[in-house]
Each structure stands twice: as C-alpha cells, then as structure tokens.
Structure 1
C-alpha cells in the first residue's frame, strides 16, 4: 500500500533568486527539505512541467507540481507490544515509554522496539519516515515521547525541536548531595577514546541543561532537569560532568558507591537498580494542526518511587 501526494504551487516574485529546494521547502512546508530534494532529483517535483535540480535558481512565476508516491516501509515488522498511550488524535501520539524498550531497530535489537510496536498500534505509520518517531529516549530511560502520525505533523514537530520550542522535563536521582540547581551550557560530542560514549567536548555541539534540586538525601539528590537541546545522553553526560552521575547509569555512573552506614535494604536496592534513574516526566509542544500548546505528564515509574522511598527512610534513620 502507498500514499499518493499531489500538489501545485506557484513561486511568488518575492522568492526570486532562491534555490529551488529552498523555495519548495517554503511552499510545501508539510514536507522536510531533504524529502523535497529527493523528489526534485527523481522528477516527482517539476518546474513548469520540466525536471530541475535542487540548486537551480528560481525567478518567480514558475509553476511547481508535486506528484509522488510514498511506499509503506516494509523493512520492519509490526509487533503487538503493549504501549501506554497518554494522548492521541489523528495527528500525534504521546506515549509513556517503559524501561528496557529500545526506540529504533539496530544491529543488537533487530525487532521488539518501539518502532515495531507503533507499526502495530497505528499501521498508517508505515507511510511516515521512522514510523513518526521524531526524538529518542535511551533504552533504560522511561517517560514521554511524541510521535507524528502524518508527514505534516512530523515536519512541524522536527521544526519545533530544531527551534528548541519543545519543552522536555526529566526527573533523575543523582549520586552525591547537591547544594543548589543551575545551568550547564557545555558542548557534547563523541568521547575521544570510546566511540560508544559521549563526553563534554569543546568541539562538540551546543548542549544546555537546566537543573534544580527537588529533594536531598544523605548521599543522593532527586533533581529535575529541563532540556534546551537534545544531544545523545545529554542529562547523563552533564550530570556526570558535575561529578553527580545518575544512580544505576551503566555507562557514566562509575563504580557503585554505597553510603556509609546504609542499611541492608538500601544497599541491596542500589545494587539491584537496573538502569539509569531518569524519567521524562513532562512534554509540551505546539499541536501541529490546532496550533494550541499541548502539555502531557507521566508519573514516576514504580522502580524510581521505590528508590526514593528507600533513600527517604535511610535519611530519616540516620538523622
């Protein structure tokens, strides 16, 4: 099954001198610039009924015609994997991702991912690139993700992410007692020696994380982080850079540290915590169709609630 697209636009005189792909991106704003470039190259998007090139200059008055077929993505299998849907309509889905669920299929996870689950829940997502996924959460991170159900919604959400107008807030439990909140504005890039890790790196991309203290314990802190940017592992890398890595972080957490005098329950709980203690609690964005601001929240998962209770009990016992 495929989706047929047909549309026409005339280039206004005000766009004279622009590249064809730039003009097309403004006139066919529902589709990404990369997709429009591919349609120009394939001849699906014509200029005055003739093929063109993305770099061609436009002069105003030309007629653009788009006739394209979007084939269903059959590379990935639809799988009946339970999803917790927080919000949905014909344009977007907001889901509360559980720990352990990988977002995209890859070499180590060819299936059993969020993408496979989405294709089963909403089969029309086969006609949307990456099944509508516009941002990621790490396998061990829980919480909110927005998914686009149409090409137009996907384009709008990607633009919001690039413009940093999507609000994303996380709960985290960090090692050590933090005295106050603050802002980390330090670039993040590949680790110079370990290509599987990220690191604060002067040659990396800009990364900004705002954080504040929610609750302090004897040797840990419940913090709330708000992202301005969305770099890979951003909160995990920034908190480790502050020397307050997240509890359970298998990559940036270092050797397990148990508080002096901790009881057996807390010791066992910290040893057994299976992932980084990070949860995407709040997500807000402009709805791509209505233009209204949509805000969603997801409660803390059980494992983090239990962890916080153990830390409170330990704190109260040792006073």
Structure 2
C-alpha cells in the first residue's frame, strides 16, 4: 500500500485495517498558502461548548461502541475526568486549563443514553483527545479491568497514540524499556518526572520501568513529524516527557515542550529544573508561519496527542481481542494538512 494511502487510513474514522509502510515518508515541500481567515483559526474554538448539556451532546454524538455494558467514546481535547482545583498551581503552569470535565456531564450523558449509572474506566487525559471508556455496571467494569490485567503477562501495548512533534526522533522505529523517576529539584521546591539511564538520580523520590515504542510515520522537512507512540503507562505524563526526552517534543505541550531549545537549528536538552527555560516553548518560524500564528501566539496551540486506538485483550466471547479506533479531532487534522504531514 502506498505511504500516502496509509496515512489517509490512519487519520480516517477508524479504518484500522490499513497497514503502515515501515519506511518514513518524506513529503515534498509545497508553497504555504493560508486558506482561512484569522477569526476562523482552527485553534480558537477547540472548546466552544456553551453548556454542560452541549458538551454531553457532543460526547454522545461521538459514541464509538455500545456493547456488553461497555461504552467507548471519542473524547474531545481539553476535557478531564475531574476539575482542576482553583487553588492549584497547575492553573499557572497549564494556561489551557478551561472548560468542563466528565464528572460535570455524567448526569446529562446518562439521561441522553437512558442509562442509570456510568463509570469512567479509562480516559485519555485532559490534554489528550481520543478513546474514552465507560462501564454501565460493576460487572462490565470488572471485565474491563480483567482485560487490563492481561497486558503485562502478554507483553502487549494496547494503547496507540498519534502525535505531531517538533523535529524528528533520531530513529524511525524505537522499542525500548526506560526508567522514569519523579525527581526533586536541588532546592527541594519542585518535582519533575525525569527519564534516566542505568544510574538513578540521587534526588529521585520514586521510579518505575516503562515499555515504550515510537515510530515516525511522516516528516515534512520543515521541522515537524507525525509519530505513533505506545507505552504501558501514562503516569507522570510519560508520553509527553518521553517525546521531550527524545528531543522531539509534542506540538502544543506547554508543560514539557520547553525542555528542548534550538541552538543553530539543532535541538538541545535543557535542565528541567531551570525556571527560566520552562517559561517558553521553542517553535520554529517555519512551523509558526504554516500554522498562521504570530510570535507569542504559541500558547493557543493545543497539545497534539491523540489516543487513536485501544485493544481489549480477550474481550470477545471466543477469547479474541476487540480493537476500537477514534478519529482524530478537526484541529489535529488541520495541523497535519498545514504542515504537509498528510497527503490525500
């Protein structure tokens, strides 16, 4: 199958039968011609719901699967499970902490679907779009947890994410086990997740081993790439930390994107505890121009991380797996087109 067809399939509404080419696609450069007005920018109305009811209706309209007490939705970007406390410092670090959360809209979802009880079993995270799993009973929830417990002995990574990153990972295909630790700053005032080698950081408070895979699907020659990422955990924002560790931070990542700066056009890892370096995210003028943004408007870019596919191991009655796919959000699709990361 041609690489362009593969990219079209993976970014379409759940056509998971397509197999991606193993080689990286280097799309030819094309002249950038904005085809939108400033007021109609794709990033300006990512969260535009005027009420909880409107958000609930949007989620119901994006129902992917309703089967055996299991509901799978395509969760929009910017919707977390619980509200961020108004006193939380996260509101200072995450300027895009706005909008409603799932707990706000569960009563409206239940009313629309005619279901008395909804249990959030798995969510892709507030600043990640994609697969959202709910159960309608304790039995269905327990069955889902059983599927999750099969993952470790089977050594299978069941969550597949798509991400737009700045730069390009050094290797096209990466499969490895890494260690990440929640590490205290030298002054003891902050904690940061740090990926390290064989030597554990002296100030590490906790550490876990993580299985991770990253595959470069497409690169555009303008400092951006489309990647596929898998891991067996998302604890401590692992996927975002991991891509920054690979010097290819996710586009729109306000928390960890600043761990990478560019010197003479080359990515350089920054000290994650340096307060000044965390204040800004480096985006090349070429990317900014193609996204139709002025300098200083980078803060409007949503984090481009999408949980595109999830596999329930042994869910079906014959013991086979069940795989669901979630289409990418419109802003993600728009970005891929603007950066020439997809060729229809």
**TM-score, normalized by length of structure 1?**
0.63
The SS at the match of 1:312 is: coil
Structure 2 residues not aligned, in runs of 5+? 1-51, 87-96, 201-205, 259-279
Contact 2:148 2:313 in 1 (8 A): no
Partner of 2:77: 99
In the alignment, does 2:63 pair up with 1:85?
yes
In the alignment, does 2:334 pair up with 1:302?
no
Partners in 2 of 1:150 and 1:166 — Cα distance? Answer: 26
167-176 or 196-205, larger mean C-alpha shift: 196-205
* Structure 1 residues 1-319: aligned runs within 5 Å: 80=53, 81-82=56-57, 83=59, 84-108=62-86, 112-122=100-110, 131-164=118-151, 167-179=158-170, 180-193=172-185, 197-200=192-195, 202=200, 203-217=206-220, 218-254=222-258, 255-259=280-284, 264-266=289-291, 268=293, 271=298, 273-286=300-313, 288=315, 290=317, 291-312=319-340
Partners in 2 of 1:263 and 1:100 — Cα distance? Answer: 22
Structure 1 segments (4+ residues) deviating >6 Å: 123-126
Partner of 2:39: none
Deviation at 1:119, TM superposition (A): 3.5
Deviation sequence 1:230-267 (CA, Å, 0-9, x none): 42312111111112111110100113333355673436
The SS at the match of 2:207 is: coil
Higher relative contact order (CA 8 A, sep 6+): 2
Partners in 2 of 1:125 and 1:110 — Cα distance? Answer: 28
Partners in 2 of 1:136 and 1:295 — Cα distance? Answer: 16
Partners in 2 of 1:263 and 1:189 — Cα distance? Answer: 33
Deviation at 1:196, TM superposition (A): 6.7
The SS at the match of 1:258 is: coil
Structure 1 residues 122, 240: closer, same or farther in 2, change over 3 A?
same
Deviation sequence 1:78-115 (CA, Å, 0-9, x none): x5323121111341010111011112245249993113
Structure 1 residues not aligned, in runs of 5+? 1-78
Partners in 1 of 2:108 and 2:288 — Cα distance? Answer: 45
Partners in 1 of 2:243 and 2:256 — Cα distance? Answer: 9
After superposition, the CA RMSD in angstroms is: 3.2
The SS at the match of 1:161 is: helix
Count of aligned pairs: 234
The SS at the match of 2:340 is: helix
Partners in 2 of 1:312 and 1:302 — Cα distance? Answer: 15
Contact 2:157 2:231 in 1 (8 A): no
Contact 1:96 1:298 in 2 (8 A): yes
